[in-house]
Amino acid sequence: MKDWMNLVDAVQLGGWVIYPLSLLAIVAIAIVVDRSYVFARFARRPGANLSAPVTADASPGAIVEAFDSLPAEHVFRRLSEPLERQPSVPFWYREAKTEVIASAIERDMSRGFWVLETIVTAAPLLGLLGTIVGMMHSFQLFGASGLVNPGGVTGGVAQSLVATAVGLVVALFSLFAFNYFSRRLERLMDELEAFANERLSGVRLASETGGDTP
């Protein structure tokens, strides 16, 4: 309890800069929670029972049936729509539609990334601003005749150090989160590309062998 009270006192020393830094921290945490849920629910890799239909010899409609157990907004289910074999749909349209859906998926899954990237830059700058304000307050306590209030000087220095520390903590948290989700999105897009290429190759092969008329 004492340690918690010391933490609260230290935050109070940071001055007004702590308030925007706290807001940035709350926004960063909200984005991390939201993206964690989205990636866990809508971007998980299909299990072994769903990987079987993803072959060149899949029957018409098998792709949609295989992904019925996934949420409607699941990325693999969204991408499977133009990959279902339909004799009336030409191959070039399926290929173009797949690229459009893949771009939309990447945009949807990266929602909020720019905010995390902005916080990575803004939080240290706000902390630096708090440092400057605290040091200015400390130097103002020096009079023409020398040091006037030693306690006030040390309080201003403490304020500047707390603001800097909080800014760095918020920036580091946002940086790690941004890098983690960026890497996860990159792996997801690689998986989607491999999935789409495999299905499009199967459709092309069936078309060339007369099994499907694009």
Q: What is the pLDDT of residues 52-90, one digit of tens each?
A: 444 444 444 444 455 666 777 888 888 887 777 566 677
By residue range, what is the domain housing residue 85? 2-208
Residue 214 lies in a domain: no
* pLDDT at 180 exceeding the cut of 80: yes
What pLDDT score was predicted for residue 130?
Answer: 81
Domain count, the chain: 1
CB 13 within 8 A of CB 158: yes
The pTM (predicted TM-score) of the whole model is 0.74
Residue 213 lies in a domain: no
Residue 93 lies in a domain: yes
Burial (CB count within 10 angstroms: exposed 0-12, middle 13-18, buried 19+), residue 209: exposed
Which of 10, 192, 190, 191 lies closest to 98, judged by CA? 192
Q: Which residue has the higher pLDDT, 112 or 211?
A: 112
- At residue 107's C-alpha, the angle toward residues 106 and 109, to 5°, is 65
